[in-house]
């Protein structure tokens, strides 16, 4: 699950930077985002050949990425500023530089807004698949009253919040 979250955290900004602000209205992203998230998992189960046995975690991970990636890319694209008339008038190099700068400024806020949702989804998927993962370990620590684990968890969210506050002053 951690690998899926890292892939999602790296692929969404890269795709948003490649597509640009027009990606918020891109028809293919809207088409992939429109069905409910669990439809992709159901479609995987319905189309999986029974002779292959049950689908593995890789197949369900791909279904999770297909369900989550379009909405994350559209969210990032919608927050990007328009590129016309400027920096588009200065050429492709200026547009690329502007997109890179915008994505770097959006990353801390985007991660702070989306990370709790992703972790909750990862916990649910771990329970559905009955696998031990980072969420199960964290839940076990909480149940054992591990104060250091809770403090580290809160520190991570506080640091994410703090990094988003620095960008507002600019």
According to the model, what pLDDT value does residue 37 have?
67
Domain that holds residue 8: 2-168
Phi and psi (nearest 5°) for 55?
Answer: -65, 145
According to the model, what pLDDT value does residue 129 have?
63
pTM of the predicted structure, to 2 decimals: 0.67
Structure tokens at 95: 């547009």
45-57 b/e with 16+ CB inside 10 Å = b? eeeeeeeeeebee
Q: With 60 as the cut, is the pLDDT of residue 24 above it? A: yes
Q: Which residue has the higher pLDDT, 167 or 41?
A: 41
44-53, 65-74, 101-110: lowest mean pLDDT where? 44-53
The count of structural domains within the chain is 1
Q: Which residue has the higher pLDDT, 88 or 67?
A: 67
């Amino acid at each position: 699950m951690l690998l899926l979250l890292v892939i999602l955290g790296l692929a969404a900004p890269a795709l948003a930077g490649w597509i640009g602000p027009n990606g918020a209205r891109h028809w293919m992203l809207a088409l992939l985002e429109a069905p409910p998230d669990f439809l992709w998992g159901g479609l995987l189960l319905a189309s999986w050949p029974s002779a292959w046995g049950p689908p593995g975690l890789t197949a369900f991970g791909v279904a999770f990425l297909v369900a989550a990636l379009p909405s994350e890319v559209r969210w990032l694209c919608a927050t990007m500023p328009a590129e016309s008339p400027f920096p588009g008038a200065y050429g492709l190099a200026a547009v690329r530089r502007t997109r890179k700068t915008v994505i770097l400024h959006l990353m801390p806020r985007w991660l702070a807004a989306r990370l709790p949702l992703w972790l909750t989804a990862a916990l649910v998927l771990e329970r559905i698949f009955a696998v031990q993962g980072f969420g199960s370990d964290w839940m076990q620590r909480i149940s054992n009253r591990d104060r250091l684990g809770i403090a580290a968890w809160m520190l991570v969210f506080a640091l994410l919040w703090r990094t988003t506050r620095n960008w507002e002053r600019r």
